[in-house]
Structure 1
Amino acid sequence: MRSLKILPAAVALCVVPLAANAQQPLSPSEAVDKIVAQEQAEVGLLRQYAPLVETYIQYLRPDKQLGAVPDGDKYFLGRAELAKGVDLEPLDRDSGVKHKVFGSWGSFFNMEFLPRGFLQMIYLDMNGFDRQHYKIEYVRREFLGEVRCLVFDVDPVKKGDKGRFVGRIWVEDQDYHIVRFNGAYGGSSLVSNYFNFDSWRTNVGKNLWLPAFIYSEEGSVHDHPFRAQTRLWGYDLGHSHQEQELSKVLVEASAGIRDQSEAANDYTPLQAERSWDHQAEDNVTDRLERQGLLAPYGEVDKVLETVVNNLEVTNNLDIQPEVRCRVLMTSTLESLTMSHTIVLSRGLIDVLPDEASLAAILAHELGHVVLGHRIDSQYAFINRVRYDDKDTFRHFDFARTPEEEEAAKQKGIELLRNSPYKDKSGSAQLFLRALKSRAKEIPNLISPHLGDRVSTSWSIASAVFAAQSSEEKPEGGEKPAPNDKPTANAIAALPLGGRIKVDSWNDQLRMLKSKPVGNVAEAENTPFQITPFMFYLTRQGANLPTANPGAVAAKLDTETKP
């Protein structure tokens, strides 16, 4: 029998210092030689990978209360062809986007983007990072999360040398990988321009650090500025899972074979129909997961399924096959249903302020499931899910008809009214209202790849909230006056990246575990906006540090800077 479930609170984990072994300290010159050699090896190493790359850009305009708010956006999703340099194969619907990074966006920015574009920012210098072209000066030692780093300032030997990096690098002190670099490429001119950026690499295995996140920003608040986030993932698409499945040793049960001739194992026509749809769902989800567009089943999916379970239990639903939840890897805000599989995008989950808001979105999608809105059964044939990656979003389209959307909306209202979230629907209404008010400024963020815009769910929370308010009448019998003004500093929605942490190697998603932020100033309330990346770096278990915590840095601190 099903029962209500409570989502677990995030538990703060303490970091236990690791025992360190002695290591012979390096001279400043030796340390720089190792850094240069490791970075040159990194450029060669990356050529074997073809990760997915997503860049989302927001233009900003000044606001008297909030400082700056979105004023237009751009979006790109593609697969990097690092073996060819910084080429990209676009996956979005816009056939006009060129394979080179953002080459067709020049008119929007009133400038033409360099072909290397944002993807180039995964490299410190593709043309050669060495002593002949750079001055590398030690600054200090610093921790980025659990990773001890040596910090250096980097400048081209020849000032104004076009495309050379100018800025600061953070180098982990075990194998001398550059794990972060912050600055810009030099040599901008009237016809070409490089942007400030902060590029991060994460440890995905022993002695393996790969580019994962890039934050870019340019212009002051009064000079039509923009902010951009670039994310990379899918370096090891499906390989680990496939190898584990193939290498499993299956042992037959020791119990004797039982005669099941009398068991109810046959399929009725209805059960066969459901099984066929289930096969279509599996074919689609497996294909999208292999492409890196759908995250492997994990922690976040279980959180969504907990909320769905609560909606089912309080509405006395027994849905067969059971409803499954999955997460689309993209930042765009969208939701969809494939028969009995509900899919929400990572970006949508990121910006939802609380569980009640999540329940409002899921109630709408669960309405489709309850009403039996099916997936195209042709996808049960495996050949129907074989296509070129670049045709993904033209091949799949799970958007519903207006009639199906209206029916699901009404069913979603019913489910939410009977749920444990009915008394908290005010926050969901606040979220949907904020999204509606920002829709014109972030059209690309709310444009779905596969499903429906979240706007289709706007009226669900509003209807539930209105019904709740009508029941709360004062003794005189009059309805309370509607209050459309949110509470001061109320969090209507979170910035992008507010909930989920992405493993760029295997695409696993995890809920962020962060400390309370305390009071939030009005200018810090930035719904749906881009913010800088800042990461607590860790090492994989197979790559634990063995060096003396201060051996290298202490040597650098006491000697002349290189």
Structure 2
Amino acid sequence: MRTSNWMILAVLVLTFAAAAQQAAPAPEAQQPASTSQPAAAQPATAQPSATPAAPVAQSTPVTMDQVVDRFLEREKGLVKMLSARTPVVETYLQNLTQDTQLGPVPKDDRYFLGRMDLSESIDRSDYLKDKEDGMEKRLLGGFTKMFKFQYTPLGFSWMIYADRNDFDRQHYDFRYVRREFTGDVRTLVFDVTPKKDAGKGRFLGRIWIEDQDFNIVRLNGTYTHPSRNTYYFHMDSWRLNLIPGYWVPTYIYSEEGDFTAGAKNKIAFKAQTRMWGYNLRTGTANDELTNIRVDSVKDDTPATQDASPLAAQREWQQQAEDNVLERLERSGLLAPEGELDKVLQTVVNNLQITNNIELPRPVRTRVLITSPLETFSVGNTIVISRGMIDVLPDEASLAAVLSHELAHIVLGHNLGSQYAFNDRMLFSDESTYQNFGFKHIPEEETAADKKAVEMLKNSPYAQKLDAAGLFIKVLQTRAPQLAALLQAHLGNNIAENGTVTRMTQLATSAPALDWNKLDQIAALPLGGRVKLNPWDDKVEMVKAQPVAITSARDKMPFEVTPFFPRLTRYGANANGVGPVSATTASSGNTSAPTN
């Protein structure tokens, strides 16, 4: 009887729990099961080349039919090239509700992070594991969510292609629309419609084809004929020319909802999906030995004796720090060292110099590529997430965030020395969050806040802390709705149970938050500060052209917005976009924030 009851419950859950996104848009295609990699080191396998060879040059098409044949051929070539890649894929989604003053605003949010396998189909394995254990808990969890949409992260990943397996003339009609410049690239625009008997889950929308090699650079539309209890999202998918001859899927924006008078939304949300790490797992130890020849080894250290106990402790901490940074970079979560680190380093140096802070080892800064607002320190390295940098309105706010982690270092709150043991680095990339953690106890967090405020008051940012305080205030107004964005996965949360807990003293002296004061920019939307190269994971800080804010609805703090990258060809630089530099301690000037 007990078995019978479980079967009935399972049937109820599967029958009534609606799926918001079918996993695969291909007709009748079964979603591949996601397989977890073992926690041990993976055996050596054939690695794809770091940069695939460009396609062989062909004659230029002279008719639109030839153009169609060419981009269909190029799409198959892209699928083949990417079949050896396992990029990281991240989706951040905000469910929306209507606010009379601000328009559609976040009601709650969801976050997905995983690794795509593009070999024979599109599969993914998740970095974020389900915290609920046991079949009964999972079934009851689904049962309590009956009649509610459940987001399937793999569904967002499928949007990198119009149709992975059957994008051809047998299944689709193609109608030329016009020529159009998309950034610096001239494109040919086609409307795509599935044939009458093409089946379910076919792409319906518009594509943009660059006019040199005839690759698809943008897809905009949805998928047709969803089955019962499934829902196909609209999507706007962008590709970048990161390597010769190929345009690689990079960004996907999804949006649903109608907020006109009288409309009844079954679902209303905005979501950003990003891909990166295409070139991960291409280098091996054998490659390095092939390219590097060591003729002799000589230790030039001036010391003539063994390390003292304190020196040995510091060497041990350095080894742990280096192990962690290397492992995070190999897992696709940490950006390689680059120009943005120098910007962050300048801010940290400003704090150190003006507070006469001298440390035995230099403080380093690195960028976590993910969207959740997060910072942590390991050894003498401060790590700050891309999402955190994106939403900070100015340099003083950035200094406030970095000062908290610098305070941990100054106070000797060292974490992570256990990672000096190299066996602790032997785990699958997807289990990184389960194997690393750098959370301080509450007493250390409180002490770091106190020390950070003290350092800020002695810094070039002392007269500009109103902006940092406003950032804390607006974060508090949105914290209850942004639990996923504020969920730290390696360090401490900046908010607990919808209440901001970090650096709150700055908010007490800040001016009142006023949505109608258009020159008061307390926080920025996501995606406005950091530019990521999805092929090599390098990041840079960019300054977009300023756009005038005309109403409170234009502010959009912490919100998801569409992607509109300026398309350029490989080797060319985008016009009007340049790196942003932090000011030195001697000047203290900062540029005005832009939305």
Q: TM-score, normalised by structure 1?
A: 0.83
Distance 1:342-1:355 versus aligned 2 partners, 3 A rule: same
The structure 1 residue matched to 2:236, chosen from 176, 188, 198, is: 198
- Partner residue in 2 for 1:130: 168
Contact 1:495 1:528 in 2 (8 A): yes
Residue 81 of structure 1, aligned match among 100, 106, 117: 117
Counterpart of 1:70 in structure 2 is 106
SS in 2 for 1:285: helix
**2:569 aligned with 1:531:** no
1:64 to partner: Cα distance: 1.1
3-state DSSP class of the match of 1:452?
A: coil
Say if 2:234 and 2:255, in contact at 8 Å, map to a contact too: yes
Give per-residue Cα distances to partners, 1:21-56, cap 9 Å, x unaligned.
x98551111111111111122223322111111111
Q: Does the 8 A contact of 2:474 with 2:513 survive in 1?
A: no
SS of 1:433's partner is helix
The reply to whether residue 227 of structure 1 matches residue 298 of structure 2 is: no
Q: What CA RMSD, in Å, does the superposition of the two structures yield over aligned residues?
A: 3.3
- Distance in 1, matches of 2:554 and 2:404, equals 31
- Would you say the 8 A contact 1:198–1:214 is kept in 2? yes
- Shift in Å, 1:289: 0.2
Query: Superposition pairs for residues 488-503 of structure 1, below 5 Å?
Result: 488-489=517-518, 490-503=520-533
Of structures 1 and 2, the one scoring higher in RCO (CA 8 A, sep 6+) is: 1
Q: 1:52 aligns with which of 69, 88, 97?
A: 88
The answer as to 2:78 corresponding to 1:42 is yes
Q: Which runs of 4+ in 1 moved over 4 A?
A: 22-25, 95-98, 103-106, 112-116, 240-253, 257-266, 456-462, 464-467, 482-487
Distance 1:229 1:369, change over 3 A: same
The code of the aligned residue for 1:371 comes to L
Q: Give the letter aligned to residue 279 of structure 2.
A: D
Match of 1:463 in 2: 505
Counterpart-to-counterpart distance in 1, 2:323 and 2:407: 23
Aligned position for 1:61: 97
How many residues end up aligned between the 2 structures? 505
Alignment of 1:251-330 (within 5 A): 267-330=307-370
Partner residue in 2 for 1:139: 177
> What does 1:14-33 align with in structure 2 at a 5 Å threshold?
26-33=62-69
Q: Residues of 2 paired with 1:114 and 1:396: CA distance?
A: 26
Matched residue type, 2:112: F
Aligned equivalents of 2:76 and 2:299: distance in 1? 65
Shift of 1:391: 2.2
1:511 equivalent to 2:511? Answer no
Check whether the contact 1:238–1:506 (CA below 8 A) recurs between aligned residues: no
Mapped contact 2:177–2:189 kept (Cα < 8 A): yes
Assess, with a 3 A threshold, how the Cα gap between structure 1 residues 261 and 203 changes in structure 2: closer, same or farther: closer
Q: Secondary structure at the match of 1:439?
A: helix
Q: CA deviation at 1:249?
A: 5.9
Distance of 1:398 and 1:537 partners within structure 2: 38
CA distance in 2, matches of 1:143, 1:242: 44
Structure 2 residue aligned with 1:153: 191
Give secondary structure in 1 for the equivalent of 2:481. Answer: coil
Q: Please list the CA deviations of residues 56-99 of structure 1 after superposition, one character each: whole Å capped at 9, or x if unmatched.
A: 1101111111111100111111111222422211111425599x
SS at match of 1:117: helix
Moved more, 113-122 or 499-508: 113-122
How far off its partner does 1:239 sit? Answer: 3.6
1:525-551 C-alpha deviation (Å, 9 max, x unpaired): 10111000111112222999xxxxxxx
Please give the alpha-carbon distance, in whole angstroms, between the structure 2 residues aligned to 1:158 and 1:58: 35
The gaps in structure 2 that reach 5 residues or longer are 1-57, 575-595
Task: Choose which of 391, 397, 416 in structure 2 pairs with 1:357.
Answer: 397
Aligned pairs (5 A) from 1:235-250: 235-237=278-280, 239=282
Aligned-pair distance for 1:389?
A: 2.4
Distance 1:486 1:196, change over 3 A: closer
Equivalence for 1:4: none
Corresponding residue for 1:187? 225
Deviation at 1:375, TM superposition (A): 2.1
Percent identical: 48
> How far 1:483 sits from its partner (Å)?
4.4
Q: What whole-Å deviation, never above 9, does each CA across 1:469-527 have from its counterpart, x for those lacking one?
A: 8xxxxxxxxxxxx7454770211111110100111111000112321213342111101
CA deviation map 1:102-128 (0-9, x unaligned): x99893882455785111101111231
Aligned-partner residue type, residue 290 of structure 1: R
1:43 aligned counterpart, secondary structure: helix
Contact 1:356 1:421 in 2 (8 A): yes
Q: Distance in 1 between matches of 2:302 and 2:436?
A: 42
Query: Is the 1:180–1:199 Cα contact (8 Å) retained in structure 2?
Result: yes
Letter of the 2:196 partner, please give it.
K
Cα offset for 1:462?
A: 5.0
**Relative to structure 1, is the Cα distance of residues 325 and 41 closer, same or farther in structure 2, using a 3 angstrom cutoff?**
same
2:422 counterpart of 1:391: no
User: Equivalent residue of 2:67, what SS?
Assistant: helix
Letter aligned with residue 423 of structure 1: Q
Q: Give the deviation of 1:189 after TM superposition.
A: 4.5
- Residue in structure 1 matching 2:159, options 108, 117, 121: 121
Q: Cα gap change, 1:500/1:536 in structure 2, threshold over 3 Å: closer, same or farther? A: same
